[in-house]
Amino acid sequence: MFKIGFIKLGNVASSLVADLALDEIAERTDIEVRSLSFGAKMTKNEAEMSAELKSWGPQLVVMVGPNAATPGPTAAREIYKDFPTVVISDGPSKKDAREALEAEGFGYIILPFDPLIGAKREFLDPAEMALFNSDSLKVLSICGSVRLVQEELDRTMASILAGSAELPHILASPEKCTERMEFKNPYARAKAIGALHMAQTVAGIAAAACFRLKELDRIALTAAAGHEVMRAAAKLADEAREMEKAGDSVSRRPHARSGAILEKRGLLDKPDPI
């Protein structure tokens, strides 16, 4: 039984499903999953508390959350430097920072379109937070980001079992993610690519609201604007999914009990081994 542990420091939309995507109907017999979440916080204090997962003996550790270059995630990586570890985050996206992660022995999947929320009390409340995450997750799910994460973690586990521990080093792009979903209709894929590009712009809008603006009205309007862009991206992604459904060509890749990935297209087809 392969042991995979998840440490969730802070929250991005991927945090909600990274572990669930490995066993979507809870029937895999080849893995055990443990997830340690610290809610929205991601300081060095939470990083230190994450050390409790070590006693379980995970064969692979996955750290999920915002900006992996900040002090909390950095401290957590130091704790797990002797474990095969993959970072899933919205940053860092700069080449030198990613190369530093790789040089330190860590894998990474950077998703720039899993963006910063408009985290200012002048705008954000629990309902708005949940709405933003649901819109973000719709974009990531329909457009291939969730599948990219799932397939790369499955591949990494297989490599560890084979004795090679091949960790991913991926800066995801809209083209890479949508390729994983194997859209049949090119217009559907174009919509999905557009939705990811829109989602990626949200980070810049939210960063202005969170860190640069000072006046209440500008903060509230800018944060709201970012959330409106994410909502529009979710609608565009939904249109892409509906086009694939209309052609009965949605790509589905469920897990078998053994952990093998199956595939099907038609809704009434039986999933077959890839």
The matching CATH number, chosen from 1.25.50.10, 3.40.50.300, 3.30.930.10, 3.40.50.10830, for 2-250 is: 3.40.50.10830
| Confidence (pLDDT) at 254 | 98
d(CA 183, CA 187): 9
Element (H, E) at 223: helix 216-246
pTM of the complete model beyond 0.75: yes
d(CA 153, CA 175): 20
| Confidence (pLDDT) at 170 | 97
| Confidence (pLDDT) at 93 | 75
**Which amino acid, residue 89?**
S
Report the relative pairing of strands 169-171 and 60-64 from DSSP bridges. Answer: unpaired
Contact between 186 and 175 (Cβ < 8 Å): no
Positions in the chain short of pLDDT 50: none
| Confidence (pLDDT) at 92 | 81
| Confidence (pLDDT) at 94 | 83
The DSSP letter of residue 252 is B
The helix/strand/coil state of 272 is strand
Contact between 218 and 153 (Cβ < 8 Å): no
